[in-house]
Structure 1
């Protein structure tokens, strides 16, 4: 039995009949301001007056955070994976001074249904991504990486609402599949820095994508996931996205099998759709519509993705990750909007509220 398994999940791994619910996380973006920060980058539907039900909100507004927490509970989202851009960044300040206090206040008022949060380390934005070398860990980047995790340990990990697996604070690493150079030593150093602060890390790598798994890199993580499977050009002219979903499932199966061989967990990641073509943003990406095929409902792609994800659940973790709660620039949000309301969130709740054997 893996030492990091939480009690209920460890019980399932021992061979008992599985009755535990599926744990749902969603990527959460605390980067908006009501003066235009990030909203000015655009989002699909902006020109026709579509957008968030709450309007162009501030991520620092207590009312906004409370509404997001309320909707998350309604949609069955138990954990936010919060976008983090380094010590002292706008997102760091927003999390520490606004989001975390609101989460903990809600949990104190409603202890029966606690909301947790963890962090998404935005590797590309923080460390830089080279088109040829990826995110290359040289001495400088490795030192910066270690200091960033020292900050996380000091400022975040002791919070009661911080999400833990087997007692270990969880951090997701965006685009870990592009790591190059001596990333193994850099990850080990980050773990050591956190250990010195009294914590053991649970690192989730963004590894699952088209192409062959990298066994050596996967070995460096406690679990792996897929942030977004958008990519192969062959799907750009699709009208029926069933094949995209099925082939994504094939990729999940391949990565999950290899991860299991290495004692590494697997967290299926799904999207409700993808549209980065809004506003004034340059857009080289094709759209993945929320409609699986012509005539289907506006949540049919999400439902197909969810059904596929349940086929590839890690029986130990029983977790899925949703991209996203509120990444409006790429059109992956399940946050209620002005035209579709709560449709995506309600569908998400129905997808994962029933335990799967």
Structure 2
């Protein structure tokens, strides 16, 4: 993805026996989950991971849109706004309008460092836009760019970064608060703050006692309450790696994800920590890096499945049953506009035919022979209809 070299994914494999057992457990738990969901009316507060890092061609550090898989399709499928510049106020206004259409309440905006393009775009363009007040905003702290390697993390920037974020964002009237506390999402806490980094967390709590820290801490089965204690809420950025990635675009993959979430929510709640379920429409990063099978946005094991079916089912069967009143029933979406990994729900132009062909030598290296639809505002409308 653009400036990021590291993969977002922690790759794990599991046998089909595990999937079947997990799915069976989900079925057994379904009545209890349904009763809990209905008791709170199950209406989520929807947040999306937002990426203000795109630059138009000809700009310094211009984005390599060729790393977006849909630009490699034959014919290419483009965003509704074309190969846009994130700092263009017209782009920001359109993205806010799309978010309102989809029933989205806030953006967790990717932040790499003080003075970075992601920082100046959020600070000087997004938050100053005349329509900014239609949404709330939080920081997605890009830990891989600030805390070093997983094996030898460096926390020396951590407190200074939080000090900058506090001075620059936390008191802004449009910044997201939970229980009166400014919210910050930290990417890959399961790598940086599990069995390590405890002194950095202790110092954070001492200097920023009112910070609401959301850890990207849940991945796979067996989540432990002791891990959740470090945070005010826990969530999972990586939907693909624990569902359709290893198990394909199948119903069983979603059943496994729902089981993981239910167990993680129970573990977190047992120590007074909230849980935020995350959903995603699909995934394909094959134009950026090797090793992750691309997944289109329909079921491979459901006859006549159509575009958007996985997203619809993930909302209904994974997101809504695991909403948590402890954090205002927040449900996260990966993502609004991460085009490099094809997780975006941002509208496409909607003008091109369905394609399973790409511009690789084989003609299917990026698509894997799966069909990709120039879907227009489909995912915004699915999200609104399923959650409102």
- Work out which of the residue numbers 33, 50, 53 in structure 2 matches 1:28: 50
Stretch moving more, 170-179 or 120-129: 120-129
2:355 is the alignment partner of 1:351: no
Match in the other structure for 1:116: 136
1-side partners of 2:132 and 2:336: how far apart? 19
CA–CA separation in structure 1 for the residues paired with 2:297 and 2:42: 29
Q: For the Cα contact (< 8 Å) 1:145–1:186, is it kept in 2?
A: yes
Q: Does 1:43 align with 2:81?
A: no
Taking structure 1 as the reference length, what is the TM-score of the superposition? 0.84
1:206 equivalent to 2:233? Answer no
Unaligned runs of 5+ in 1: 1-15, 109-113
Q: Name the CA shift for 1:312/1:29 in 2 (closer, same or farther; >3 Å).
A: same
Aligned counterpart in structure 2 of residue 126 of structure 1, from 146, 171, 185 = 146
3-state SS, counterpart of residue 90 of structure 2: helix
In structure 2, the partner of 1:4 is none
**Does the residue aligned with 1:142 lie in a helix, a strand or coil?**
coil
The residue aligned with 1:286 is 293
Instruction: Render the CA deviation track for 1:16-65: whole Å, top value 9, x for unaligned.
Output: 96358410000000000112733345112202321201000000000000
Q: Find the counterpart in structure 2 of residue 297 from structure 1.
A: 306
Q: Distance in 2 between matches of 1:163 and 1:21?
A: 18
Q: Any idea what SS the aligned residue of 1:79 has?
A: strand
Give yes or no for contact 1:44–1:276 (8 Å, CA) kept in 2: yes
Is the 1:207–1:224 contact (alpha carbons within 8 Å) kept by the matching residues of 2?
A: yes
Distance 2:113 2:223 in 1: 28
Q: Contact (CA 8 Å) 1:289, 1:301: kept in 2 or not?
A: no
For residue 337 of structure 1, what is the aligned residue in structure 2?
348
Shift of 1:129: 2.6
Q: What RMSD, in angstroms, separates the aligned Cα atoms of the two structures?
A: 2.1
Map 1:1-357 to 2 at 5 A.
Answer: 18-19=40-41, 21-35=43-57, 37-40=62-65, 42-47=67-72, 48-102=75-129, 105-107=130-132, 114-130=134-150, 133=151, 136-137=152-153, 141-180=154-193, 182-195=196-209, 200-231=210-241, 236=246, 238=248, 240-278=249-287, 281-293=288-300, 295-307=304-316, 308-316=318-326, 317-338=328-349, 339-353=374-388
Unaligned runs of at least 5 residues, structure 2:
1-37, 350-373
Secondary structure of the equivalent of 2:110? strand
- Whether the 8 Å contact between 1:335 and 1:345 is mirrored in structure 2 is yes
Q: 1:340 to 1:324 in 2, by over 3 A?
A: same
Q: Decide whether aligned partners of structure 1 residues 233 and 324 sit closer, same or farther in structure 2, where only a CA change above 3 A counts.
A: closer
Q: Which residue pairs with 1:13 in the alignment?
A: none
Return closer, same or farther for 1:157/1:216 CA change in 2, 3 Å cut-off.
same
CA contact (8 A) 2:243 2:254 kept: no
TM-score (norm 2): 0.77
In structure 2, distance between residues paired with 1:233 and 1:251: 10
